[in-house]
Every structure is written in C-alpha cells, then in structure tokens.
Amino acid sequence: MLLFTPGPTPVPESVRLAMATPTLHHRTPEFEAIFKETRELLFNLFHTDEVIMLASSGTGAMEAAVTNLCHNTLLSVNAGKFGERFGKIALACGLNNVEIKHEWHTPASVEEVVEAVKANPSVDAVAIQVSESAGGLRHPVEAIAAAVKAINPEIMIIADGITAVGVEPIDVSNLDCLIAGSQKALMLPPGLAILGLSTEAIEKIGEGKGYYLNLASEIKKQSQNTTAYTAATTVIIGLGAVLKEIDAKGGIEKLYANTALRAEATAKALEALGLHIYPNSPALSMSTIVDENAKEIRDLLKSDFGVNVAGGQDHLKGKIFRINQMGLIEPYEMVASVNAVELAMAKLGRRTFDGTASRVFNEIYFKTILGSK
Ligand SMILES: *Cc1c(COP(=O)(O)O)cnc(C)c1O
C-alpha cells in the first residue's frame, strides 16, 4: 500500500533504522550531542533566530505560540480546520479572537488582513497557516506579514508551517514564529513539534506564559542543548536522521524543486483526466481534487489499486480527496498514483482508460528533469 495521505507521511528506511537504536537517557552528554547537532540542522531549515523542539503534536506548538506571543487579541484566518483551531485556542486560553473566515478553497487577501488589523487596535498577534491542509490551499503569508509589520512592527506574526516547512522555501523575514510538526513534511512519526522564533518574539515572550508550554523555560534550556522536561529523544534522533537524509539526496533546495515539479505534474495529469483542483491557490504540500465521485475514487484507490489518499473533513467529507506531495517521494510512486486515479475513473465508467494521466505526468516531470541536467 502506498501511503499518500498528507500526514502522516512515510518514514524513510534510514530514519526508521536510526530510531531503532537503544533508548538514550535525555540528561546525558550522548543525547546532548545529538540534540546540539539536530538543533544546528534545524537552524539551516528554518532560518530563524531561535528554534525550539517540543514533545507534543503540532497543536501543542500552536497553543504555545498563541499563549506566549499573544497577550490580548489574536487575529486568525479560518479557511479550514487548522485556521479555525487558532481561534479556538485563543478563546480557550482566555484571549480575545477576531476571525477572518473563508470557504476552504479561498485564501486570505493582504487587504482584508490589513483592514482587520486597522479596525481592531487591540490585535497584538496574527495567526495563519502557510499551507491550510483542510482544503490544500496556500495563504500569501509572507505578503500578509510584511503588510502587518508595516502598520505595526510589534504585532507578532505566527505562521503554521506544519505542511509547509520542508516543502517549499518560506521567507521568514517578517515572521515571528514558524511552526513545524514531525509527522507531516518532516517524514517522522508523530510526537515532535518545532517552533522557529524571531528575536522580537523572544523579547515579547519575556518570562513566558503557562507551565509545560512556557517558551521562556525552553529557550533557556534548549540554547544549552537540553530541554526543560523529558525530550522526545527517539523522534529527535529521527529528525537528525531525516535532515541528513535530505542532504544525502541532494539537499533541501533539490527537495523543494522536486516537490514543486511533482505537484505541478500531478495537477496537470489529474486535470487532463477532467478532474478539478479544489483550492483557488493550491499549496505544494498536497494535490486536492473536488469531485462528485471523490469518495468512490478514494475507496477504489485503496481497495483495488493500493494507494491510500486522504478525503475531506466536515462539510467537505466525501467531496474532495487529497494526495500528499510532502517528503522525499519517488516520482514513480506518483506515476502509479495518478495512473490509479485514471483506472478508478475507468472503473466508475467516467472515461476509457488510455494512460493519459501517467503520460502527462511523465512528460512534465521527466522532460524537466532531463532538461535541467
Ligand atoms: C496536521 C496539522 C496541524 C495539527 O497538527 P497535530 O499534529 O495533529 O496536532 C496543524 N496545522 C496544520 C496545517 C496541519 O496540517
């Protein structure tokens, strides 16, 4: 079975083997050396002033970012389940929330965020997904961040990059917090979340807020290559291994280029079958198709063709399917997947199978790869 859900994603073999080594105690020079090395590799990935690893799922990092960086009103963008979550976190933690809400295919615009910031002077942080996984859309986060900072540089910008860090380069110059999670683009088992922080964010954090998710305690400890509480040792060992695996496979820039090309070739291959891309501004992390037979196609992919893709949630349940593009994915696996979509459509009587999907994918992907050699 090919795992093509946009999280969890397959864990490379070298990484699984690295995590099979005997468990280390977290307060030892051996683990501190591993922590230090992984931390240095993370700085190369995030390009932020500080990076913090938390033993939690991605949502823990979202909550840590909101409680430590927002002291009054959080402006959040809800164009899907994960954007909605930022607002829920703010309210659950006793903060105010102003929400910009969109259907799950529509990204936020710079203008409406600027307007909302101007209309709500108590907003001291803005939270938004880089890639909103609910509908597979890309928000113009960098442009929004620049516009908000131009109004008031003290407003903190929290960017959820859980399905973006490791997928595409992100300009962090106007971001105060960039979040990643182990089980999505970083190809690891669940259990580790990472926050990249700006110097301004560290200043605002001050003494920190909360207890377990108090970022001040973690900043203090992690700059000394240890953690405030028990580290997620095994996943951190895996993270070091995955970042080295990316290097061994040609480096992060090559991964970004291959991901962008694979996402484009997949979209064109599926469109050539008469299918429609759901989001108005697709993220590179996943290919999202809206279709009246989405459920049937997804079921057939799994039962007949050995490809596991994700469906939709809430009001999009049964209406969309999402094919993962995150991680070190072999192009032949994607060829097999788009071919399986064509086979499923043939089984449903929607078209005669003629190999269009794999031909279009191959033409775009491999012509570009050959051309760039
Ligand atoms: C998966 C995901 C999350 C939540 O992460 P958990 O690890 O499930 O807590 C947050 N944001 C985005 C964009 C995601 O895709």
> Pocket around ligand 1: residues whose beta carbon is below 6 Å from it?
7, 57-59, 82, 129, 133, 160, 162-163, 181, 184
Closest listed residue to residue 227, CA positions, set 65, 27, 24? 27
38-87: per-residue pLDDT in tens? 999 999 999 999 999 999 999 999 999 999 999 999 999 999 999 999 99
- The one-letter code for the residue type at 39 is R
* Cα 135 from chain centre: 13
pLDDT at 328: 96
293-305: per-residue pLDDT in tens? 999 999 999 999 9
Please tell me the distance from the alpha carbon of residue 226 to that of residue 371, in angstroms, as a whole number. Answer: 46
Cis check: omega of the bond before 12, within 30 degrees of 0: no
Closest listed residue to residue 104, CA positions, set 326, 325, 324, 312? 312
Expressed in angstroms and rounded, the spacing between residue 359 Cα and the centre of ligand 1 is: 34
CB atoms within 10 A of CB 227: 23
- pLDDT greater than 80 at residue 91: yes
Report residue 95's pLDDT band, with 50, 70 and 90 as the boundaries: very high
Expressed in angstroms and rounded, the spacing between residue 138 Cα and the centre of ligand 1 is: 15
Expressed in angstroms and rounded, the spacing between residue 62 Cα and the centre of ligand 1 is: 9
pLDDT at 246: 97
pLDDT at 78: 98
Q: Which atom of ligand 1 is nearest to the CA of 190?
A: 7
19-44: per-residue pLDDT in tens? 999 888 999 999 999 999 999 999 99
CA distances in angstroms from 158 to 110, 129, 184, 265, 337, listed in the order given: 15, 8, 18, 31, 34
CB atoms within 10 A of CB 203: 10
Q: Which atom of ligand 1 is nearest to the CA of 182?
A: 7
Percent of the chain scoring above 70 in pLDDT: 100
Q: Which atom of ligand 1 is nearest to the CA of 130?
A: 13
Expressed in angstroms and rounded, the spacing between residue 161 Cα and the centre of ligand 1 is: 9
Whether 232 and 191 have beta carbons less than 8 Å apart is answered as yes
CA distances in angstroms from 65 to 9, 155, 186, listed in the order given: 24, 13, 20
Angle between helices 233-248 and 29-46 (to 10 degrees): 50
pLDDT at 22: 86
- pLDDT greater than 70 at residue 7: yes
E runs forming strands in the chain: 2-4, 50-54, 73-78, 96-101, 123-129, 131-132, 137-138, 156-160, 177-181, 193-197, 276-277, 286-290, 307-309, 320-324
- pLDDT greater than 80 at residue 372: no
Domains of the chain plus CATH, in order, are 12-248 (3.40.640.10), 252-371 (3.90.1150.10)
CA distances in angstroms from 124 to 52, 89, 192, 326, listed in the order given: 22, 15, 27, 32
**What is the token pair recorded at 122?**
């108590």
Expressed in angstroms and rounded, the spacing between residue 354 Cα and the centre of ligand 1 is: 38
Percent of the chain scoring above 90 in pLDDT: 97
Q: How many CA within 13 A on the CB side of residue 209?
A: 18
pTM of the model: 0.97
Whether 93 and 211 have beta carbons less than 8 Å apart is answered as no
- Nearest CA owner, ligand 1 atom 2: 162
- Of 16-25, 112-121, 270-279, 358-367, the range with the lowest mean pLDDT is 16-25
- pLDDT greater than 70 at residue 266: yes
- Average pLDDT over the chain reads 97
Expressed in angstroms and rounded, the spacing between residue 81 Cα and the centre of ligand 1 is: 9
- Nearest CA owner, ligand 1 atom 3: 58
105-141: per-residue pLDDT in tens? 999 999 999 999 999 999 999 999 999 999 999 999 9
197-247: per-residue pLDDT in tens? 999 999 999 999 999 999 999 999 999 999 999 999 999 999 999 999 999
Helices and strands (DSSP H and E) totals, the chain = 13, 14
pLDDT at 373: 60
176-204: per-residue pLDDT in tens? 999 999 999 999 999 999 999 999 999 99
- The arithmetic mean of pLDDT across residues 2-18, rounded, is 93
